[in-house]
Structure 1
């Protein structure tokens, strides 16, 4: 796993993004902060796109996107072709990586406290993809049609 994490937020996720960056650096990760750099109102799709474009350019990097609820960031990242998971607890973070090979963790600052968010982040980063039967299912995502 890469030791580089690409992170972004909107104004609603700015404080949690700042806390995550501090923790990531303490844990020995290199952080690429795609903004914003202030609390001014801004549009989450712009920052999600910045993070997703970097993840698409480098398969080794993982990403973190934070907005008020995490919903908008998750929808945008998945629409852009980056497998992203909205996680509100450690179990979801573990399963997102182990079973679904999620490359981008999404969280909501307004729904997840900072302490829990940092635990979710740690579990997400510490969990490896399980491969095998899970890869078969991931491969179906792009091939199955209704």
Structure 2
């Protein structure tokens, strides 16, 4: 199988959309990611997968802390900004959840400390110990087959 066939098959898995954020030397950095999942309830752990080519890789290694912001359906523009798809945009304002930057209006904000990092293929899997959570009752932003989607109304 070729890379395109693999990517197309993986795109058939509908996911939520997140922005992973961290802070290094007073500067906030973020990137869009849909490679996110919960790992454990006890202890509370999540994982994000970061490409070896992503600038965020070194930032997470430096900070040791990050947030996962599960985007709401009204935050497609933020997804595109942090995916590098919108170059001309206004500065994004971050709030704080404990010691990490978070995005207001997200369905969930999850603050984490890096508890482990595993290099697998061309990505590093960062295991995050959850230190704080804030949730809202908003509709999530969904990504499927290369397009943003929304949940169907009943």
Q: With structure 2 as the length reference, what TM-score do the two structures score?
A: 0.25
Bigger Rg, structure 1 or 2: 2
Higher relative contact order (CA 8 A, sep 6+): 2
> As a proportion of its length, which structure holds more helix?
1
Structure in which a larger fraction of residues adopt strand: 2
TM-score (norm 1): 0.26
